A = this chain, B = another copy of it.
């Protein structure tokens, strides 16, 4: 067991955290319940979509060749040979010199290769005047134009937004194979902590981290289990950690604001486990611990809530994506122009909260423990380890919360 490892880079910490994840088992859910879940198996088109060539407008199915050279003053005169009904198989055929009425979504009859919009046509008895030239394929969605039979439509690992749900419907998936949500335990440690419902006395603060971390887990597709507050006493913490490891797929401990407490956390992880990272070159968030016990990831987060949240977003997020089976996505970001210089120590990756006002980004130099900066800022600007700060006027990327 090694307690005092060398501080590792953010990149290395992310790599190590990810490596601890095991892919969750899968389960089947109805399509109406699949939104917000992660697809667990590639989905291919079961047939050509659409299954037949359809009109995208109300109009007359024609042979495009019959409309060449037609205009407002020189319309083509075609014989109306019938009408396609919506939802019906089409048995009629468009022969040269004829046309067939097709509503939007109706099937294109054999022989036709385009649709003349009703707005530019005029029916007179059995005849139809077409006043514009239509090109082959015009106003037609061809069979298989959306997806071809057998085509990969959505790969495993994709987070299912409403748009993927719509696509799954189009290829006939009424039941979807998704990954189970991993169950993650949360333990808050610290003798200064009191439950949220209590009024803290002097020297005490409320347990913010359980809920901040727990709701982040929920928002990333995990099921948080709250183990509450544990005093910084070896036997108490050991028994709670063991209980959490029995019931959960991973455990996040937060707290340990002082060095003694952090050492206790690392010590307990190291007992029949491994401490893989003890200290990351990141600010805020340096005293983060990454370990494994009973084959499960155990993370020790900083005690300051705002620091813990930066570590959740920048490092733990990758572990959670791997545990939920979700493909890695970039954190959404916007660019802005820095309104002030931001100093930074070289050799450490700094994450500075930034408020966005108009097209300018104002760094929040608040202490990392302040909660108000979490809701007053739009996100984080990263200062790479190799840079000694950023300058006013620089264009920077803001990683959105």
Contacts and interface: CB of A to CB of B under 8 A. Distances in A.
Interface of A: 31-32, 34-36, 46-47, 49-52, 54, 56, 58, 84-90, 103-107, 141, 145-147, 154, 160-170, 172-174, 190-193, 195-216, 218-219, 224, 226, 232, 257-261, 303-305, 309, 332, 334-335, 367-372, 374-375, 400-401
Contact of A200 (B51, B191, B203): B51
A105 B303 contact: yes
A211 B165 contact: yes
A161 B199 CA distance: 24
Nearest to A51: B200
Contact of A36 (B32, B56, B163, B219): B219
Contacts of A192: 86-87, 105-106
B218 A35 contact: yes
Contacts of A169: 196, 206-208, 210-212
A117 B163 CA distance: 53
Given A51-B205, A166-B309, 13 more contacts: A32-B215, A86-B257, A86-B258, A89-B202, A105-B190, A105-B192, A166-B208, A166-B209, A166-B211, A167-B375, A172-B198, A172-B199, A334-B334
Contacts of A210: 169
A191 B309 contact: no
A229 to B, nearest CB: 11
A104 B307 CA distance: 13
A326 to B, nearest CB: 16
A170 B215 contact: no
Contacts of A173: 196
B367 A56 contact: yes
A162 B104 contact: no
B207 A305 contact: no
Contacts of A335: 335
Contacts of A90: 202-203
Contacts of A31: 196, 211
B167 A367 contact: no
A200 B49 CA distance: 10
Contacts of A370: 141, 145-146
Contacts of A166: 208-209, 211-212, 215, 305, 309, 371, 374
Contact of A202 (B105, B107, B216): B107
A169 B173 CA distance: 41
Contacts of A191: 85-88
A272 B369 CA distance: 58
Nearest to A171: B206
Given A31-B211, A105-B303, A303-B104, A203 B374 contact: no
Contacts of A46: 199
24 contacts: A32-B211, A46-B199, A51-B202, A56-B367, A56-B368, A86-B192, A87-B193, A104-B258, A105-B190, A105-B304, A141-B367, A141-B370, A146-B370, A146-B372, A161-B401, A162-B212, A167-B375, A169-B206, A169-B210, A172-B196, A172-B197, A173-B196, A174-B197, A334-B334
